[in-house]
Amino acid sequence: MKKLFFNLTSFTFLFSIFAISISAQVENCYSIGENRREPYPKSIREKLAKNCIERAKKDFQELLDRGEEIAKLTEEIETSYEENKKFTSDDNKKLARVEKLLKKIRRDLRADDDDNDDEKPESKLEAIKKLKEKTLKLFNELKKTSRYSISAVAIQSSNTVLKLVKFLRFKN
């Protein structure tokens, strides 16, 4: 009987530790205001949770919009470079905008700096072609993800695109 009680107690203890560790790792919108002495009423907790979900949807949509804008800007940069055979001041502004948007995307994806040394392009035209290709890959990968997931391919693509943008910006 003691052995059964001990096993049941240890199982309960292990299960509670597991549950606590899971709840600590997962960000939960529904726990808003529960750390107060008097928790919020149910209707207020539900409204706060609904706002949290709406904010997550909005943030994810902004992530997709940034990816789409980067794809459009790189298309415009490629077209302009093919027409002029050089970078214009507008192209440099667009590259700066792409870099700014990429940094926001990387922040949203919780990406770190990548130490992977991709081969450097030999010319600006090759860098622009790669930039367009990698940007489209990044945008397609962002479209495949959900607001609950983080894509390693999207992080790698964003790192590669950022390196290409820096190469083009500082090569001028």
Domain extents for the chain? 60-171
Cβ atoms 126, 82 nearer than 8 A: no
Number of helices followed by number of strands (H, E) in the chain: 5, 0
Q: What is the pLDDT along the chain (172 residues), one digit of tens a residue?
A: 545 444 545 445 444 443 343 333 334 555 555 666 778 888 988 999 999 999 999 999 999 999 999 999 999 999 999 998 888 899 999 999 999 999 999 998 888 776 666 678 888 889 999 999 999 999 999 988 887 887 888 888 888 899 999 988 887 6
User: Can you tell me the distance from the alpha carbon of 165 to that of 95, in angstroms, rounded to the nearest whole number?
Assistant: 6
- Give the tokens for residue 103: 């940094």
Looking at the whole model, is its pTM more than 0.85? no
